């Protein structure tokens, strides 16, 4: 089974509708998707010597990969969502197991999920790992930034607050002052972020 030629045939109409709804930002669609495939992944992890909490971690990680791809619009699905999620979660759990165990790990698979190697999950996961690393560095840099810069930047970029709100919150005389402060903070963050990030990439 090659990737391209089955794109339209193997996707069920429900899958298409779900993806469209999630891309449109429908929270209930995401919740529905989440509920739909949770038993499968939970069963898989529990069967392979994991706990309920492990299953939840792995599944949320997997759904996150899927969700971000959908939001980007960069998702190229050659199989059902179910299979894709299974492949991603399987891969994630395998990684955790190998890091935990001294011995080689063999996974018990449900036969019904077929050839999970052709799902493109591998590449997506590599990209997601890169992204994870970037976010970790960013979080590190924010922690090193110190107050009030950190709260200011988090308020503006992470929590989507308006400049007016932030001016009032941090007690600046006017919005321009606050903006100037923000730019200074950005400069400092940039130094922290790129030194860490580039160091790590080398």
Partner 1 sequence: MMTEADYYALFEAYAHGELAGPARANLEARLAADSVLALRYADFTEMTGTLRAYGQRQQARQQLRGIHAAMLAADAPEEIALPASKLTHSVNPMLHISRTERKLREFWSGHRATVGVAASVAVMAVFATLLGLDLWKTARTQPAMYGYQVLRREMDKLKRNQRALTQTIITQGPAPTPAVNTGKFSGTGFALTSEGYLVTSYHVIQGADSVLVEGHDKQRYHAEPVYSDLKHDLAILRITDKKFNGFGRLPYAIKSGQADLGERVYTLGYPREDVVYGEGSLSARSGFEGDTAFYQVSIPVNPGNSGGPLLDERGNLIGVVSGRQNDAQGAAFATKSSYLVRLVDSLDAAKPAAPYHLPRYGQLAGTGRPQQLKKLQDYVFVVKVFE
Binding site for partner 1 (CB under 8 A): 13-14, 17-18, 21, 26-32, 34-40, 46-47, 49, 51-52, 56, 60, 63-64, 67-68, 71, 131, 134-135, 138-139, 153-154, 157-160, 179-180, 183-184, 186-187, 189-190, 193-194
Q: Write down the least CB distance from residue 72 to partner 1, Å.
A: 10
User: Toward partner 1, which CB reaches closer, 5 or 201?
Assistant: 201
Residue 78: partners with Cβ closer than 8 Å, 6 or more residues away: 1, 3, 4, 6, 7, 10, 118, 119, 120
- Check if the beta carbon of residue 92 is closer than 8 Å to that of residue 122: no
User: Toward partner 1, which CB reaches closer, 101 or 180?
Assistant: 180
Q: Write down the least CB distance from residue 188 to partner 1, Å.
A: 10
- Tokens for 61, please give them: 């990680």
Q: Write down the least CB distance from residue 101 to partner 1, Å.
A: 14
**Residue 74: which of 116, 33, 23 has the closest Cα?**
23
User: Toward partner 1, which CB reaches closer, 13 or 73?
Assistant: 13
Which ranges in 24-115 belong to alpha helices (H)? 27-47, 52-72, 81-100
User: Toward partner 1, which CB reaches closer, 3 or 190?
Assistant: 190
**Integer Cα distance of 112 and 126 in angstroms:** 25
């Amino acid at each position: 089974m090659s990737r391209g030629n089955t794109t339209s045939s193997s996707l069920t109409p429900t899958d298409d509708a779900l993806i469209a709804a999630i891309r449109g930002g429908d929270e209930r669609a995401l919740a529905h998707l989440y509920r739909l495939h949770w038993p499968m992944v939970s069963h898989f992890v529990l069967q392979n010597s994991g706990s309920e909490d492990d299953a939840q971690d792995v599944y949320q990680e997997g759904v996150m990969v899927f969700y971000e791809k959908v939001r980007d619009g960069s998702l190229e699905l050659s199989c059902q969502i179910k299979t894709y999620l299974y492949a991603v979660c399987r891969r994630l759990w395998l990684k955790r197991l190998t890091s935990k165990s001294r011995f080689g790990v063999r996974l018990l698979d449900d036969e019904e999920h077929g050839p999970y190697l052709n799902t493109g999950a591998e590449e997506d996961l590599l990209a997601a790992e890169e992204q994870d690393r970037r976010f970790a560095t960013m979080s590190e840099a924010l922690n090193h930034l110190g107050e009030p810069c950190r709260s200011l930047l988090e308020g503006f970029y992470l929590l989507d607050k308006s400049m007016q709100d932030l001016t009032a919150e941090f007690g600046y005389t006017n919005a321009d002052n606050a903006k100037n402060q923000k730019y200074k903070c950005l400069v400092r963050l940039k130094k922290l972020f790129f030194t860490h990030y580039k160091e790590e990439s080398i």
